[in-house]
Amino acid sequence: MIVIDEYLAVDVVRGDWPDGLPDDDVLGLPVTCHYRLLQRIHDPGTGQLSAILGRLSPQDREAIRHPHPEIVQVLDPRPILDEAASIAARYHTGGLLVPEILAAGFAYGRQLWFGTPANVGVRMADIAADLGIAIHVAN
């Protein structure tokens, strides 16, 4: 399983496989990342994610809302929720987004793939390094 962020999910669902992203494994999208996509589909804002989604066809937006599991699987948060809570407590991260992504990376091969460096952030990178999780940014 390769854990990806919402930016890579948009690319992959559209059929635009980013350079560097391995193509020999199943892609998993943490539920909080999928939720971020759904939020911007239903209530667009002024940010980068809303702009990207706004340029998609209705068919692509529907594919993002309901990704085909052979393309991207939305990860069930239940098996990693305890680890996410542990990470949040240990590193004092507010919210669920960062701890869930890190817990998914920890559980599924100790790798995380992001579609933009802005999604990584210093805190995410520091915690990932401490947990032994490799971070990759696809081109």
> Mean of the per-residue pLDDT values for the chain?
95
Task: Give the mean model confidence (pLDDT) for residues 19-45.
Answer: 94
Residue 94 has pLDDT above 80, yes or no: yes
CA separation, residue 117 to residues 8, 53, 78, 81, 139 (Å)? 12, 18, 28, 25, 10
What confidence tens digit (pLDDT) does each residue in 10-29 have?
999 999 999 889 988 899 99
Residue 117 has pLDDT above 80, yes or no: yes
Q: What is the pLDDT of residue 23?
A: 85
User: Does this model's pTM top 0.85?
Assistant: yes
Q: What percent of the chain has pLDDT over 70?
A: 100
> Which domains, and CATH codes, for the chain?
2-137 (3.40.50.1010)
